[in-house]
Amino acid sequence: MLTIDPRSATPPFEQLRVQLREQVRTGELAAGTRLPTVRRLAEDLGIAPNTVARAYRELEADGFIETRGRNGTVVSAQGDATEQQGQLAARAYADRIRQLGVGREVALGWVESAL
């Protein structure tokens, strides 16, 4: 979840950048997750599209997200090569589980058993 407080002394672009960065760092936004379009997020948060675009640009420069043409902006895998591969595999597993409609607890149980 993202939140923007217009009364805050912190500029909206910085509020957005910090929250997205923390969500990527903590894994709340997993590698491969697609972010909303600049226009859509700007409309939802009631801020200018340029503000969102600037936050996305800085996060991309810092390696947190990447732009993939028609696929939009997605979260980059973090850490070394091993960690990145693990995160991408986890994303693929989570997507498949969602497609199958399997519950979270059951899916986590399978991972535990497999490990």
Partner 1 sequence: MNPGVWFITGVLVLIILVGAVLIAIPAFRRFAVVQLGTSVGLAVPEHLEPALRRRLVGRTVASLIGAIVGLAAAVAALQTRLVPSSESTDVAEFWLVFGGFFAGASIAAAIYALTAKPARPEGERFARSGAVDLRDYLAPIDRLGARGAVALGIVTVLAATAVSGVGLTHSNAALSIGGLIVIAGAVGLVLSEWASRRILDRPQPAGSPSELAWDDALRAQSLREIVTAPLSLGSWGSLAVLFTLVDAADSAEVGGVATFWVGAVGLVIVLIALFAAAGISIATKPQQHYLRRLWPEVAAAAKVATETRMAALKAGH
Given the rule CB under 8 A, which residues bind partner 1? 1-7, 19-20, 23, 28-29, 33-37, 40-41, 43-47, 72, 98-99, 101, 104
Question: What's the closest the beta carbon of residue 114 comes to partner 1, in angstroms?
Answer: 21
Looking at the Cβ atoms of 81 and 92, the one nearer to partner 1 is 92
Give the integer Cα–Cα distance in Å for 43 and 36: 11
Question: What's the closest the beta carbon of residue 79 comes to partner 1, in angstroms?
Answer: 20
Task: Supply 78's token pair.
Answer: 């973090």
Q: Helix, strand or coil for residue 92?
A: helix
Looking at the Cβ atoms of 28 and 83, the one nearer to partner 1 is 28
